[in-house]
Structure 1
Amino acid sequence: MDYFSGQGKLFFGQRDTAGNPKALRWVGDAADVSFSAEPDVLEAKENYSGNRQTVVRITRELKMSFKASLRQISTENIQLLTQGDAVAQSSGSVTNEIISPTTGTLAVGNVFILAAQDLSAVTIKDSSGTPKTLVAGTNYDLDAKSGQIEILDATTGGPYTLPLKADYTKAALSRVKMYTAANVEYWVRFVGLNTAVSGFPKVVLDIYRTRLDPAKDFSMISDDLNTFELAGSCLSDQTKTAASDYGQFGRLVQLT
Protein backbone atom coordinates (compact mmCIF):
# COMPACT_ATOMS: atom_id res chain seq x y z
CA MET A 1 0.00 0.00 0.00
CA ASP A 2 1.18 3.53 -0.86
CA TYR A 3 0.40 7.00 0.40
CA PHE A 4 -1.17 9.26 -2.18
CA SER A 5 -0.65 12.91 -3.09
CA GLY A 6 -1.92 13.70 -6.53
CA GLN A 7 -1.21 16.07 -9.35
CA GLY A 8 -1.96 15.65 -13.02
CA LYS A 9 -3.72 16.70 -16.19
CA LEU A 10 -7.48 16.84 -16.78
CA PHE A 11 -8.87 16.17 -20.27
CA PHE A 12 -12.34 16.65 -21.75
CA GLY A 13 -13.75 15.36 -25.03
CA GLN A 14 -17.18 14.83 -26.53
CA ARG A 15 -18.47 11.29 -27.12
CA ASP A 16 -19.37 9.68 -30.43
CA THR A 17 -22.62 7.80 -31.02
CA ALA A 18 -20.99 4.52 -29.93
CA GLY A 19 -20.05 5.99 -26.54
CA ASN A 20 -16.35 6.33 -27.29
CA PRO A 21 -14.34 9.52 -26.76
CA LYS A 22 -13.57 11.82 -29.64
CA ALA A 23 -10.37 13.90 -29.51
CA LEU A 24 -9.65 14.93 -25.92
CA ARG A 25 -8.33 18.35 -24.89
CA TRP A 26 -6.25 19.30 -21.84
CA VAL A 27 -8.04 22.06 -19.93
CA GLY A 28 -4.85 23.45 -18.41
CA ASP A 29 -3.76 23.78 -14.80
CA ALA A 30 -6.46 22.52 -12.42
CA ALA A 31 -6.47 23.29 -8.70
CA ASP A 32 -8.84 20.44 -7.83
CA VAL A 33 -10.23 17.32 -9.49
CA SER A 34 -12.57 14.96 -7.63
CA PHE A 35 -15.54 12.65 -7.95
CA SER A 36 -18.01 11.44 -5.36
CA ALA A 37 -20.62 8.71 -5.04
CA GLU A 38 -24.13 9.73 -4.04
CA PRO A 39 -26.13 6.61 -3.14
CA ASP A 40 -29.87 6.82 -2.53
CA VAL A 41 -30.31 4.42 0.39
CA LEU A 42 -33.45 3.04 2.06
CA GLU A 43 -33.00 1.82 5.63
CA ALA A 44 -35.64 0.18 7.83
CA LYS A 45 -35.63 -0.53 11.58
CA GLU A 46 -37.27 -3.46 13.33
CA ASN A 47 -40.16 -2.70 15.70
CA TYR A 48 -40.19 -5.68 18.06
CA SER A 49 -37.05 -5.72 20.22
CA GLY A 50 -37.26 -2.31 21.82
CA ASN A 51 -33.87 -1.36 20.31
CA ARG A 52 -35.11 -0.21 16.92
CA GLN A 53 -32.11 -1.69 15.20
CA THR A 54 -31.51 -1.28 11.47
CA VAL A 55 -32.35 -4.59 9.80
CA VAL A 56 -32.62 -3.64 6.13
CA ARG A 57 -30.44 -1.41 3.94
CA ILE A 58 -31.29 -1.17 0.26
CA THR A 59 -29.40 0.93 -2.27
CA ARG A 60 -32.15 2.21 -4.51
CA GLU A 61 -29.90 4.24 -6.79
CA LEU A 62 -26.19 4.98 -7.11
CA LYS A 63 -25.32 8.39 -8.54
CA MET A 64 -21.94 9.92 -9.14
CA SER A 65 -20.85 13.54 -9.45
CA PHE A 66 -17.71 15.24 -10.69
CA LYS A 67 -16.08 18.59 -9.97
CA ALA A 68 -12.90 20.42 -10.88
CA SER A 69 -11.44 23.88 -10.38
CA LEU A 70 -9.80 25.31 -13.50
CA ARG A 71 -7.02 27.89 -13.15
CA GLN A 72 -6.52 28.78 -16.82
CA ILE A 73 -8.95 30.33 -19.26
CA SER A 74 -9.47 29.77 -22.98
CA THR A 75 -12.32 29.87 -25.48
CA GLU A 76 -12.80 26.12 -25.01
CA ASN A 77 -12.82 26.39 -21.21
CA ILE A 78 -15.36 29.20 -21.36
CA GLN A 79 -17.54 26.89 -23.45
CA LEU A 80 -17.38 24.25 -20.69
CA LEU A 81 -18.07 26.75 -17.92
CA THR A 82 -20.99 28.53 -19.61
CA GLN A 83 -22.42 25.64 -21.66
CA GLY A 84 -21.70 27.82 -24.66
CA ASP A 85 -20.92 27.54 -28.35
CA ALA A 86 -17.95 29.16 -30.04
CA VAL A 87 -18.85 31.62 -32.80
CA ALA A 88 -16.26 32.82 -35.28
CA GLN A 89 -15.87 36.49 -36.13
CA SER A 90 -14.56 36.61 -39.67
CA SER A 91 -12.07 39.22 -40.78
CA GLY A 92 -13.24 41.92 -43.16
CA SER A 93 -14.47 45.48 -43.57
CA VAL A 94 -17.67 47.06 -42.25
CA THR A 95 -19.22 50.25 -43.60
CA ASN A 96 -21.95 52.50 -42.18
CA GLU A 97 -22.73 50.42 -39.12
CA ILE A 98 -25.23 52.33 -36.97
CA ILE A 99 -23.83 52.48 -33.42
CA SER A 100 -26.03 55.04 -31.64
CA PRO A 101 -29.74 55.79 -31.21
CA THR A 102 -31.35 57.57 -34.15
CA THR A 103 -32.87 60.25 -31.92
CA GLY A 104 -31.82 62.15 -28.83
CA THR A 105 -28.82 64.30 -27.99
CA LEU A 106 -25.18 63.31 -28.19
CA ALA A 107 -23.67 63.80 -24.71
CA VAL A 108 -20.25 63.57 -23.10
CA GLY A 109 -19.85 60.19 -21.41
CA ASN A 110 -22.07 58.30 -23.86
CA VAL A 111 -20.55 54.88 -24.62
CA PHE A 112 -21.47 53.20 -27.90
CA ILE A 113 -20.73 49.56 -28.70
CA LEU A 114 -19.70 48.35 -32.13
CA ALA A 115 -20.84 44.92 -33.30
CA ALA A 116 -17.31 43.48 -33.60
CA GLN A 117 -14.11 43.43 -31.55
CA ASP A 118 -10.38 43.67 -32.33
CA LEU A 119 -10.77 46.57 -34.77
CA SER A 120 -8.52 48.76 -36.87
CA ALA A 121 -8.98 51.66 -39.30
CA VAL A 122 -11.98 52.93 -37.32
CA THR A 123 -13.86 55.99 -38.59
CA ILE A 124 -16.85 57.50 -36.75
CA LYS A 125 -19.16 59.84 -38.64
CA ASP A 126 -22.59 61.36 -38.24
CA SER A 127 -25.70 61.27 -40.47
CA SER A 128 -25.58 64.78 -41.91
CA GLY A 129 -26.26 65.18 -45.63
CA THR A 130 -22.49 65.42 -46.00
CA PRO A 131 -21.35 63.23 -43.08
CA LYS A 132 -19.07 64.89 -40.53
CA THR A 133 -16.19 62.79 -39.21
CA LEU A 134 -15.60 62.80 -35.46
CA VAL A 135 -11.97 63.01 -34.36
CA ALA A 136 -10.51 60.26 -32.21
CA GLY A 137 -8.92 61.69 -29.07
CA THR A 138 -10.96 64.90 -29.40
CA ASN A 139 -14.57 63.88 -29.86
CA TYR A 140 -14.28 60.31 -28.64
CA ASP A 141 -11.99 57.77 -27.02
CA LEU A 142 -11.64 54.51 -28.93
CA ASP A 143 -11.09 51.08 -27.35
CA ALA A 144 -10.42 49.16 -30.55
CA LYS A 145 -9.88 45.79 -28.84
CA SER A 146 -13.24 45.74 -27.05
CA GLY A 147 -15.02 47.55 -29.87
CA GLN A 148 -16.46 50.64 -28.20
CA ILE A 149 -16.16 54.42 -28.10
CA GLU A 150 -16.79 56.97 -25.36
CA ILE A 151 -17.84 60.51 -26.28
CA LEU A 152 -15.41 63.13 -24.93
CA ASP A 153 -16.65 66.26 -26.73
CA ALA A 154 -20.06 66.47 -28.41
CA THR A 155 -19.67 69.99 -29.87
CA THR A 156 -16.23 70.51 -31.48
CA GLY A 157 -16.61 70.11 -35.25
CA GLY A 158 -20.39 69.80 -34.86
CA PRO A 159 -23.27 69.99 -34.57
CA TYR A 160 -23.63 66.23 -35.17
CA THR A 161 -26.71 64.49 -36.49
CA LEU A 162 -27.67 61.11 -35.05
CA PRO A 163 -27.30 58.26 -35.59
CA LEU A 164 -23.53 57.89 -35.51
CA LYS A 165 -22.10 55.40 -37.98
CA ALA A 166 -18.83 53.45 -37.99
CA ASP A 167 -16.52 52.15 -40.69
CA TYR A 168 -13.81 49.74 -39.59
CA THR A 169 -11.79 46.62 -40.30
CA LYS A 170 -12.26 43.62 -38.00
CA ALA A 171 -9.84 40.81 -37.28
CA ALA A 172 -10.74 37.13 -37.14
CA LEU A 173 -11.43 35.83 -33.61
CA SER A 174 -13.57 33.40 -31.68
CA ARG A 175 -16.19 34.33 -29.09
CA VAL A 176 -18.61 32.30 -26.98
CA LYS A 177 -22.37 32.67 -26.81
CA MET A 178 -23.47 31.39 -23.42
CA TYR A 179 -26.00 28.71 -22.40
CA THR A 180 -26.72 27.25 -25.83
CA ALA A 181 -25.14 23.78 -25.44
CA ALA A 182 -26.75 22.43 -22.27
CA ASN A 183 -27.09 18.81 -23.45
CA VAL A 184 -23.50 18.06 -24.47
CA GLU A 185 -21.98 14.98 -22.82
CA TYR A 186 -18.26 14.58 -22.18
CA TRP A 187 -15.74 11.84 -21.62
CA VAL A 188 -13.54 12.99 -18.74
CA ARG A 189 -9.99 11.67 -18.25
CA PHE A 190 -7.51 12.49 -15.51
CA VAL A 191 -3.92 11.31 -15.91
CA GLY A 192 -2.32 11.85 -12.53
CA LEU A 193 0.97 11.43 -10.71
CA ASN A 194 1.28 10.06 -7.19
CA THR A 195 3.92 12.45 -5.87
CA ALA A 196 4.05 10.66 -2.49
CA VAL A 197 5.86 7.72 -4.10
CA SER A 198 9.32 7.69 -5.63
CA GLY A 199 9.18 7.83 -9.42
CA PHE A 200 5.71 9.45 -9.39
CA PRO A 201 3.69 6.45 -10.65
CA LYS A 202 0.66 7.34 -12.73
CA VAL A 203 -3.02 7.05 -11.90
CA VAL A 204 -5.60 7.16 -14.69
CA LEU A 205 -9.28 8.03 -14.12
CA ASP A 206 -11.86 7.72 -16.91
CA ILE A 207 -15.45 8.89 -16.45
CA TYR A 208 -17.42 7.93 -19.51
CA ARG A 209 -20.48 10.12 -19.56
CA THR A 210 -20.52 13.48 -17.79
CA ARG A 211 -23.06 16.25 -18.21
CA LEU A 212 -21.88 19.57 -16.79
CA ASP A 213 -23.81 22.25 -14.96
CA PRO A 214 -23.06 25.88 -15.86
CA ALA A 215 -20.57 27.48 -13.50
CA LYS A 216 -22.43 28.91 -10.51
CA ASP A 217 -19.92 31.70 -10.08
CA PHE A 218 -17.74 33.27 -12.77
CA SER A 219 -15.85 36.03 -11.01
CA MET A 220 -14.62 38.79 -13.33
CA ILE A 221 -12.80 40.92 -10.73
CA SER A 222 -10.44 39.53 -8.12
CA ASP A 223 -7.32 40.42 -6.15
CA ASP A 224 -6.30 36.76 -6.25
CA LEU A 225 -5.67 34.19 -8.96
CA ASN A 226 -9.14 33.16 -10.14
CA THR A 227 -10.36 29.58 -10.22
CA PHE A 228 -13.36 28.50 -12.25
CA GLU A 229 -15.53 25.72 -10.86
CA LEU A 230 -16.75 22.89 -13.09
CA ALA A 231 -19.33 20.48 -11.70
CA GLY A 232 -21.70 17.95 -13.15
CA SER A 233 -23.38 14.57 -13.00
CA CYS A 234 -21.79 11.33 -14.15
CA LEU A 235 -24.44 9.27 -15.90
CA SER A 236 -24.58 5.53 -16.44
CA ASP A 237 -23.14 4.61 -19.85
CA GLN A 238 -25.61 2.20 -21.40
CA THR A 239 -23.21 1.41 -24.26
CA LYS A 240 -21.23 -0.60 -21.67
CA THR A 241 -22.21 -3.34 -19.22
CA ALA A 242 -21.52 -3.48 -15.50
CA ALA A 243 -19.77 -6.82 -16.04
CA SER A 244 -17.37 -5.46 -18.66
CA ASP A 245 -13.82 -4.31 -17.94
CA TYR A 246 -15.08 -0.75 -18.20
CA GLY A 247 -18.12 -0.83 -15.92
CA GLN A 248 -20.80 1.76 -16.61
CA PHE A 249 -19.63 4.86 -14.74
CA GLY A 250 -15.85 4.91 -14.90
CA ARG A 251 -12.63 3.15 -14.06
CA LEU A 252 -9.57 4.00 -11.99
CA VAL A 253 -6.21 2.51 -12.87
CA GLN A 254 -3.17 2.63 -10.58
CA LEU A 255 0.06 2.11 -12.49
CA THR A 256 3.47 1.17 -11.11
Structure 2
Amino acid sequence: MWGRLAGPGSVWGSLRAMGTAGPSRGVLAGKVALVTASTEGIGFAVAQRLAQDGAHVVLSSRKQANVDRAVAELQAQNLSVSGTVCHVGSAEDRERLVATALERHGGIDILVSNAAVNPVVGSALEASESVWNKILQINVTATAVLVGLVVPHMEKRGGGSIVLVSSIAGFSPFPGLGPYSVSKTALLGLTKVLAPELGPHNIRINCLAPGLIQTKFSAALWKDEAVKEKMMETLRVQRLGDPSDCAGIVSFLCSPDASYISGETMVVAGGAPSRL
Protein backbone atom coordinates (compact mmCIF):
# COMPACT_ATOMS: atom_id res chain seq x y z
CA MET A 1 0.00 0.00 0.00
CA TRP A 2 2.64 2.51 1.03
CA GLY A 3 4.67 1.78 -2.09
CA ARG A 4 1.73 2.83 -4.21
CA LEU A 5 1.22 5.99 -2.22
CA ALA A 6 4.84 7.11 -1.94
CA GLY A 7 6.81 5.65 -4.86
CA PRO A 8 7.66 7.12 -8.28
CA GLY A 9 4.50 7.74 -10.25
CA SER A 10 2.50 7.46 -7.03
CA VAL A 11 -0.43 9.62 -5.99
CA TRP A 12 1.79 11.89 -3.89
CA GLY A 13 4.44 12.01 -6.61
CA SER A 14 1.86 13.11 -9.15
CA LEU A 15 0.50 15.74 -6.80
CA ARG A 16 4.00 17.12 -6.21
CA ALA A 17 4.65 17.27 -9.95
CA MET A 18 1.47 19.32 -10.41
CA GLY A 19 2.44 21.67 -7.60
CA THR A 20 -0.55 20.69 -5.46
CA ALA A 21 -0.69 19.59 -1.87
CA GLY A 22 1.41 16.60 -0.82
CA PRO A 23 3.06 15.29 2.35
CA SER A 24 5.92 17.82 2.41
CA ARG A 25 4.17 20.58 0.46
CA GLY A 26 4.23 22.97 3.39
CA VAL A 27 7.60 22.17 4.96
CA LEU A 28 8.94 25.54 3.75
CA ALA A 29 5.61 27.36 3.78
CA GLY A 30 6.04 31.12 4.03
CA LYS A 31 9.82 31.03 3.66
CA VAL A 32 11.52 33.34 1.15
CA ALA A 33 14.37 31.84 -0.85
CA LEU A 34 17.01 33.31 -3.14
CA VAL A 35 18.63 30.91 -5.63
CA THR A 36 21.45 32.13 -7.87
CA ALA A 37 22.04 30.73 -11.36
CA SER A 38 18.59 29.17 -11.18
CA THR A 39 17.16 29.29 -14.69
CA GLU A 40 18.49 25.87 -15.72
CA GLY A 41 20.34 22.83 -14.39
CA ILE A 42 20.81 22.29 -10.66
CA GLY A 43 19.71 25.80 -9.76
CA PHE A 44 16.41 25.48 -11.60
CA ALA A 45 15.67 22.07 -10.07
CA VAL A 46 16.42 23.43 -6.60
CA ALA A 47 14.24 26.51 -7.13
CA GLN A 48 11.39 24.31 -8.35
CA ARG A 49 11.62 21.99 -5.34
CA LEU A 50 11.80 24.81 -2.80
CA ALA A 51 8.69 26.34 -4.36
CA GLN A 52 6.92 22.95 -4.41
CA ASP A 53 7.69 22.71 -0.70
CA GLY A 54 6.00 26.04 -0.05
CA ALA A 55 8.69 28.71 -0.35
CA HIS A 56 8.43 31.97 -2.26
CA VAL A 57 11.44 31.71 -4.57
CA VAL A 58 13.33 34.50 -6.31
CA LEU A 59 15.20 33.09 -9.31
CA SER A 60 18.14 34.79 -10.97
CA SER A 61 20.64 34.51 -13.79
CA ARG A 62 22.66 36.80 -16.03
CA LYS A 63 20.13 37.09 -18.89
CA GLN A 64 16.62 38.52 -18.68
CA ALA A 65 15.30 36.14 -21.34
CA ASN A 66 16.39 33.13 -19.29
CA VAL A 67 14.83 34.57 -16.14
CA ASP A 68 11.54 35.21 -17.95
CA ARG A 69 11.45 31.68 -19.40
CA ALA A 70 12.18 29.95 -16.09
CA VAL A 71 9.71 32.08 -14.12
CA ALA A 72 6.97 31.45 -16.67
CA GLU A 73 7.59 27.68 -16.58
CA LEU A 74 7.33 27.50 -12.80
CA GLN A 75 4.43 29.90 -12.51
CA ALA A 76 2.57 27.66 -14.96
CA GLN A 77 2.89 24.98 -12.25
CA ASN A 78 1.14 27.31 -9.78
CA LEU A 79 4.38 27.88 -7.87
CA SER A 80 5.22 31.12 -6.07
CA VAL A 81 8.24 32.35 -8.00
CA SER A 82 9.58 35.57 -9.43
CA GLY A 83 12.94 36.52 -10.86
CA THR A 84 15.52 39.17 -11.56
CA VAL A 85 18.75 39.50 -13.49
CA CYS A 86 21.81 38.93 -11.33
CA HIS A 87 25.41 38.50 -12.40
CA VAL A 88 26.88 37.51 -9.04
CA GLY A 89 30.19 39.13 -9.97
CA SER A 90 28.47 42.51 -9.95
CA ALA A 91 28.04 44.22 -6.59
CA GLU A 92 25.10 46.19 -7.99
CA ASP A 93 23.37 43.01 -9.16
CA ARG A 94 23.90 41.25 -5.83
CA GLU A 95 22.38 44.17 -3.97
CA ARG A 96 19.45 44.27 -6.41
CA LEU A 97 18.80 40.56 -5.88
CA VAL A 98 18.53 41.05 -2.13
CA ALA A 99 16.43 44.21 -2.56
CA THR A 100 14.06 42.37 -4.89
CA ALA A 101 13.34 39.71 -2.27
CA LEU A 102 12.76 42.34 0.39
CA GLU A 103 10.45 44.41 -1.80
CA ARG A 104 8.38 41.44 -2.96
CA HIS A 105 8.29 39.31 0.16
CA GLY A 106 9.50 41.40 3.09
CA GLY A 107 12.46 39.28 4.11
CA ILE A 108 14.89 36.46 3.35
CA ASP A 109 15.01 33.04 5.00
CA ILE A 110 17.00 30.91 2.54
CA LEU A 111 19.97 31.45 0.23
CA VAL A 112 21.19 28.84 -2.23
CA SER A 113 24.42 30.02 -3.84
CA ASN A 114 24.75 28.03 -7.06
CA ALA A 115 26.48 30.37 -9.53
CA ALA A 116 29.87 29.26 -10.87
CA VAL A 117 32.12 29.61 -13.90
CA ASN A 118 34.83 27.54 -15.51
CA PRO A 119 36.30 29.35 -18.54
CA VAL A 120 39.18 26.97 -19.28
CA VAL A 121 40.12 23.30 -19.47
CA GLY A 122 43.78 22.37 -19.21
CA SER A 123 46.83 22.50 -17.01
CA ALA A 124 46.48 24.44 -13.76
CA LEU A 125 50.09 25.57 -14.16
CA GLU A 126 49.24 27.14 -17.50
CA ALA A 127 46.14 28.97 -16.32
CA SER A 128 46.57 32.72 -16.55
CA GLU A 129 46.21 35.13 -13.65
CA SER A 130 43.01 36.47 -15.20
CA VAL A 131 41.53 32.96 -15.30
CA TRP A 132 42.38 32.35 -11.64
CA ASN A 133 40.96 35.75 -10.69
CA LYS A 134 37.69 35.19 -12.58
CA ILE A 135 37.07 31.70 -11.18
CA LEU A 136 37.85 32.63 -7.58
CA GLN A 137 35.98 35.92 -7.78
CA ILE A 138 32.75 34.39 -9.10
CA ASN A 139 32.85 30.99 -7.40
CA VAL A 140 34.18 32.03 -4.00
CA THR A 141 34.41 35.76 -3.30
CA ALA A 142 30.97 36.62 -4.71
CA THR A 143 29.46 33.78 -2.69
CA ALA A 144 31.01 35.02 0.55
CA VAL A 145 29.90 38.60 -0.11
CA LEU A 146 26.35 37.52 -0.95
CA VAL A 147 26.16 35.57 2.29
CA GLY A 148 27.19 38.73 4.10
CA LEU A 149 24.40 40.66 2.39
CA VAL A 150 21.61 38.27 3.38
CA VAL A 151 22.65 37.56 6.97
CA PRO A 152 21.27 40.79 8.50
CA HIS A 153 17.90 40.12 6.90
CA MET A 154 17.86 36.52 8.10
CA GLU A 155 18.59 37.77 11.61
CA LYS A 156 15.50 39.98 11.43
CA ARG A 157 13.45 36.86 10.65
CA GLY A 158 14.91 35.00 13.62
CA GLY A 159 17.30 32.86 11.60
CA GLY A 160 17.76 31.19 8.25
CA SER A 161 19.49 28.57 6.16
CA ILE A 162 22.25 28.89 3.56
CA VAL A 163 23.41 26.22 1.11
CA LEU A 164 26.56 26.64 -0.97
CA VAL A 165 26.84 24.47 -4.08
CA SER A 166 30.33 22.99 -4.32
CA SER A 167 31.30 19.75 -6.14
CA ILE A 168 33.00 16.43 -5.50
CA ALA A 169 35.81 18.09 -7.48
CA GLY A 170 36.41 19.97 -4.24
CA PHE A 171 37.46 16.66 -2.68
CA SER A 172 39.01 14.95 -5.69
CA PRO A 173 39.95 17.36 -8.52
CA PHE A 174 38.68 16.65 -12.01
CA PRO A 175 41.46 16.34 -14.63
CA GLY A 176 41.90 19.57 -16.58
CA LEU A 177 39.72 21.52 -14.15
CA GLY A 178 42.35 22.56 -11.61
CA PRO A 179 41.34 26.17 -10.86
CA TYR A 180 37.66 25.23 -10.81
CA SER A 181 38.37 22.34 -8.43
CA VAL A 182 40.36 24.66 -6.14
CA SER A 183 37.42 27.07 -6.03
CA LYS A 184 35.09 24.25 -5.03
CA THR A 185 37.50 23.16 -2.28
CA ALA A 186 37.40 26.75 -1.04
CA LEU A 187 33.62 26.53 -0.66
CA LEU A 188 34.03 23.51 1.60
CA GLY A 189 36.31 25.63 3.76
CA LEU A 190 34.02 28.65 3.62
CA THR A 191 31.19 26.52 4.95
CA LYS A 192 33.32 25.40 7.91
CA VAL A 193 34.50 28.96 8.60
CA LEU A 194 31.05 30.52 8.55
CA ALA A 195 29.11 27.85 10.48
CA PRO A 196 30.36 28.87 13.95
CA GLU A 197 30.04 32.57 13.11
CA LEU A 198 26.44 32.21 11.97
CA GLY A 199 25.33 29.75 14.65
CA PRO A 200 24.72 32.36 17.37
CA HIS A 201 22.37 34.14 14.95
CA ASN A 202 20.32 30.96 14.41
CA ILE A 203 21.55 30.75 10.82
CA ARG A 204 22.74 27.41 9.49
CA ILE A 205 25.09 27.00 6.53
CA ASN A 206 25.76 23.76 4.71
CA CYS A 207 27.33 22.69 1.46
CA LEU A 208 26.18 20.48 -1.41
CA ALA A 209 28.82 18.54 -3.36
CA PRO A 210 27.24 17.08 -6.51
CA GLY A 211 28.99 14.51 -8.63
CA LEU A 212 28.73 14.61 -12.40
CA ILE A 213 25.24 15.97 -13.07
CA GLN A 214 23.96 16.15 -16.64
CA THR A 215 23.60 19.88 -17.20
CA LYS A 216 24.60 22.33 -19.91
CA PHE A 217 27.48 23.45 -17.68
CA SER A 218 29.00 19.94 -17.59
CA ALA A 219 28.11 18.90 -21.14
CA ALA A 220 31.76 18.52 -22.24
CA LEU A 221 32.09 15.65 -19.75
CA TRP A 222 29.10 13.59 -20.93
CA LYS A 223 27.68 14.59 -24.33
CA ASP A 224 30.14 12.41 -26.23
CA GLU A 225 29.17 8.81 -25.50
CA ALA A 226 32.76 7.59 -25.27
CA VAL A 227 33.67 10.37 -22.87
CA LYS A 228 30.54 9.66 -20.84
CA GLU A 229 31.37 5.97 -20.51
CA LYS A 230 34.92 6.83 -19.45
CA MET A 231 33.66 9.28 -16.83
CA MET A 232 31.21 6.73 -15.44
CA GLU A 233 34.01 4.18 -15.21
CA THR A 234 36.33 6.67 -13.52
CA LEU A 235 33.66 7.77 -11.05
CA ARG A 236 32.46 4.20 -10.49
CA VAL A 237 28.80 5.09 -10.93
CA GLN A 238 25.92 3.28 -12.61
CA ARG A 239 24.46 6.44 -14.10
CA LEU A 240 25.12 10.15 -14.26
CA GLY A 241 23.11 12.46 -12.08
CA ASP A 242 20.07 14.51 -12.96
CA PRO A 243 19.53 18.02 -11.53
CA SER A 244 16.51 16.73 -9.64
CA ASP A 245 18.83 14.42 -7.68
CA CYS A 246 20.17 17.54 -5.93
CA ALA A 247 16.87 19.27 -5.26
CA GLY A 248 15.46 17.21 -2.43
CA ILE A 249 18.59 17.32 -0.30
CA VAL A 250 18.74 21.12 -0.59
CA SER A 251 15.12 21.43 0.48
CA PHE A 252 15.87 19.13 3.41
CA LEU A 253 18.87 21.22 4.47
CA CYS A 254 16.65 24.31 4.46
CA SER A 255 13.87 22.62 6.44
CA PRO A 256 13.24 22.24 10.19
CA ASP A 257 14.20 18.57 9.85
CA ALA A 258 17.81 19.74 9.42
CA SER A 259 17.76 22.13 12.38
CA TYR A 260 20.75 20.35 14.00
CA ILE A 261 22.86 20.24 10.83
CA SER A 262 25.32 23.05 10.10
CA GLY A 263 28.84 23.25 8.70
CA GLU A 264 28.40 19.99 6.80
CA THR A 265 28.86 18.98 3.18
CA MET A 266 26.37 16.58 1.63
CA VAL A 267 27.71 14.55 -1.29
CA VAL A 268 25.21 13.67 -4.03
CA ALA A 269 27.34 11.68 -6.43
CA GLY A 270 25.91 8.22 -6.98
CA GLY A 271 28.64 6.55 -4.96
CA ALA A 272 31.56 8.25 -6.72
CA PRO A 273 34.69 8.45 -4.52
CA SER A 274 34.78 11.69 -2.61
CA ARG A 275 36.03 11.39 0.99
CA LEU A 276 36.30 9.03 3.93
**Structure with greater helix share of residues:** 2
Same-fold call, TM cutoff 0.5? no
When normalised by structure 2's length, the TM-score is 0.19
**Structure with greater strand share of residues:** 1
When normalised by structure 1's length, the TM-score is 0.20
